[in-house]
A and B are shown apart, each in its own frame.
Chain A
Amino acid sequence: MSLLEIRGLTAAYGDFQALYGIDLKVEEGETVAIIGANGAGKTTLLRAIAGLLRTPPDCIRFDGAPIGSLAPSRIVRRGIALVPEGRRLFPSLTVEENLRMGAQSGRGGPWTLSRLYGLFPALAARRRAAATALSGGEQQMAAIGRALMANPRLLLCDEISLGLAPRVIRDVYAALPGIRAEGTTVLIVEQDTSRALAEADRVYCLQEGRVTLEGAPAALTRERIRLAYFGL
């Protein structure tokens, strides 16, 4: 049984359909990447998994149980945490308050404030600062930290490299091995294809709301990826 299993998932914003029958599987312990052009539906897919979009109940199974109709707060409790696109820290909370919000779901596990500060020492120094006062990289770390505080079994990361300098992107991604080492399964969305191929055990490519390619990085040629990515 896969940890996450999605079958024929559709999703829409009002009368605009964004996902057309997505099939996707994530095994426990794996790292899976989703790539795709702007507007392909990557964020929509993660938001649907996290429960922010209305989806048919049976389309999404987590650890064998259907979660498609659960509220986001219930889904976190089951063990799926999302690092949202654009970080979305709470601007009127301090860094530490933002992290503590992540623990709201009450799941126990390896991640505590002190372990997080070990993972991201930059945050420890700025724990009392307003979230808005952080640099882009620190904000991204705080957003990842907030999600980890829920001690998820599956961590969803939406473009954690967005708008960051290459050196900072390296720092942010440097945290992934430590997270995986705790047995956390990771599903990342990444526009940077080579980064995605380097990090992931398997890759899915989305295009206009459909899966156009799936496979282990070693098995995929550049040509096939380009075709799946752009459709030409």
Chain B
Amino acid sequence: MAWLNIIVQGALLGGLYALFAAGLSLMFGVMRLVNIAHGDLIVLSAYCALVIVQATGMHPLASLVLVVPLMFAFGYGLQRGLLNFTLSGGILPPLLVTFGLSVIIQNGLLEAFSADSRRLQAGALETASLRLGDQLAIGWLPAIVFIVAVAVIALLEQLLYRTALGRAFRAVSDDADTAQLSGVEIRHVFALATALALAVVSLAGVLLAIRTNFDPSIGPARLLYAFEAVIIGGLGSLWGTLAGGVLLGIAQSLGAALDPGWEILAGHIVFLLVLLLRPRGLFPKQAE
């Protein structure tokens, strides 16, 4: 029963990782851009929420009403103003520009907010839980995070396969030149992809900030978790990414139960094992 509890908690944590991963996956899927600053953007949205909460006294979850559109707009501007210019010259420019961006965001946050650890206070929600047995209790907050993750992934799937924008995303991903010939403004479509990715990122960032402490330096680790969830799940499949996140969460939670020093390590090791044994991930997309 104690083990069951550990696995359930890990799986719920995996929902958060899947949320981290969805944005990364979207940007890579549409424009083959791996955003090294992804984790720092998660942290940036957490601070964004912090500022709003402190200024208005809103509940952190209510601050999403502002944070999500802000990050959406920021993503659009970031892509059009900066990242679009990195996409024509091989792999180095996007990697190194987002790497530079990562360092800029981290140090900018450090300068603005110091290295102190922060947290968004969500009141009763933080501790409320549903007791399912002697040793098994599900916190409302982790459960909500997980449900949000599933909902976001379901919505993204709908968007990709049921809307004109999603069709354009897939077409651009297949063949950007030919998509342009069909009348797609790829710079605009790329910017929408990043905007959408950052909207998801901002959701993830706020939920993260309610669940745990954060400080300006924790971004890169979130990037790594997101990346691992994507690779474990298999490229190009959002549901696979959810599974990858869950597996990563369970691995970390089992590792932590063994010894706190093994928490993160266990996740990394599962990732490396998947890479060795199933390099295309556990649930690769059928095509290709």
Contacts and interface: CB of A to CB of B under 8 A. Distances in A.
Contacts of B182: 76, 101-102, 104-105, 146, 150
A71 B180 CA distance: 8
A73 B184 contact: yes
23 contacts: A52-B180, A72-B177, A73-B180, A73-B183, A73-B185, A73-B186, A81-B181, A84-B178, A88-B178, A90-B170, A90-B178, A90-B179, A91-B174, A92-B173, A92-B287, A97-B171, A101-B168, A101-B171, A104-B182, A104-B183, A130-B287, A132-B287, A150-B183
A50 interface: yes
Contact of B174 (A71, A73, A90, A146): A90
Interface in B125-181: 164, 167-168, 170-171, 173-175, 177-181
A104 B165 CA distance: 10
Nearest to A77: B183
Given A90-B174, A90-B175, A84 B167 contact: no
A82 interface: yes
A50 B185 CA distance: 14
Given A52-B177, A52-B180, A88-B178, A101 B167 contact: yes
A126 interface: no
Nearest to B166: A97
A93 B170 contact: yes
B238 to A, nearest CB: 14
A82 B181 contact: yes
Interface residues of B, number: 19
Interface in B58-75: none
Contacts of A88: 175, 177-178
Interface string B262-288: 000000000000000000000000010
Contacts of B174: 90-93
Contacts of A72: 177, 180-181
Interface in A115-133: 130, 132
Nearest to B177: A52
Interface in B168-215: 168, 170-171, 173-175, 177-186
Contacts of A163: none
Interface in A86-104: 88, 90-93, 97, 100-102, 104
B88 to A, nearest CB: 12
B132 to A, nearest CB: 42
A105 B164 CA distance: 12
Contacts of A130: 287
A216 B167 CA distance: 43
Contacts of A105: 182-183
A106 interface: yes
Contacts of B180: 51-52, 71-73
Of B164, B170, B178, B184, most buried by chain A (CB within 10 Å of CB) is B178
A104 to B, nearest CB: 4
Name the residue among B167, B183, B184 with the largest chain A CB count within 10 angstroms.
B183
A104 B168 contact: yes
B266 to A, nearest CB: 35
Nearest to A98: B171
Nearest to B167: A97
Interface in B229-280: none
A162 to B, nearest CB: 16
Given A52-B177, A84-B178, A90 B183 contact: no
B171 A93 contact: yes
A104 B184 CA distance: 6
Nearest to A50: B181
Contact of B181 (A52, A93, A100, A132): A52
Contacts of A97: 167, 170-171
